[in-house]
Amino acid sequence: MTFYVENESGQDLGFDYEVLAWKVMNQALDYVECPYEVQINVIITDNQEIQRVNELSRGINKPTDVLSFPNIDYTTPAVFDHVEEFQSDYFDPDSGELILGDIMISIDKVIDQAEEFGHSLEREYAFLIAHSMFHLFGYDHLVETEAKEMERMQEEVLQKINITRD
């Protein structure tokens, strides 16, 4: 797996956000049994920038905690059997890796939500990475059954790497 994490916010998170992102992403990839080596980009930003991107990409003019930009069009979430048909769209020609997509996280929201929910910054950050990974796999939470499935899968991924709500 190749992943790039860029902290555009300039804020010190107080933990190794690259190592934690790698653990969560690897566990999520194992969870869905992704058969490919992948590329993922993570940008850590602030509320102002994520609001700007949220407005441009979704037409919502307010900050959000995480944005996911999947590169793959799925017919069924986490089913990768069609990606090789679209080699030039989905794979990096130099590395051969499947380009899964991009994740953008607001560090301001991580801080606020960790306090709001009474858990650590690490837990909130890891949760948002896990949440976004499932979006990159084609899952969504527009209806209650999908939301519950995503919540269950996210928690299972986090528990496997000992990231709990405590």
Q: Which tokens in the block code for residue 32? A: 């869905």
The answer to whether 132 touches 25, Cβ cutoff 8 Å, is no
State yes or no: pLDDT of 124 exceeds 90: yes
Residue that is written with structure tokens 């089913």 in the block = 79
Spatial separation of the C-alpha atoms in residues 45 and 9, rounded to whole Å:
5
Spatial separation of the C-alpha atoms in residues 140 and 72, rounded to whole Å:
14
**What are the pLDDT digits (tens) for 7-35?**
999 998 899 999 999 999 999 999 999 99
Mean pLDDT of 84-88: 89
pLDDT > 90 fraction of the chain, expressed in percent and rounded: 90
pLDDT number for residue 142: 85
Closest CA to 106 of 13, 3, 19: 13
Tell me which CATH homologous superfamily contains domain 2-160. Answer: Metalloproteases ("zincins"), catalytic domain (3.40.390.30)
The domain limits of the chain are 2-160
The answer to whether 95 touches 110, Cβ cutoff 8 Å, is no
**What are the pLDDT digits (tens) for 88-122?**
899 999 999 999 999 999 999 999 999 999 999 99
Q: Which tokens in the block code for residue 94? A: 């130099």
**What are the pLDDT digits (tens) for 42-73?**
999 999 999 999 999 999 999 999 999 999 99
The answer to whether 108 touches 63, Cβ cutoff 8 Å, is yes
Spatial separation of the C-alpha atoms in residues 133 and 78, rounded to whole Å:
10
pLDDT number for residue 28: 98
pLDDT number for residue 166: 62
DSSP per residue, the chain: -EEEEEETT----SS-HHHHHHHHHHHHHHHTT--S-EEEEEEEE-HHHHHHHHHHHHS--S--SEEEEE----SSTT--TTGGGGHHHHB-TTT--EEEEEEEEEHHHHHHHHHHHTS-HHHHHHHHHHHHHHHHTT---SSHHHHHHHHHHHHHHHHHTT----
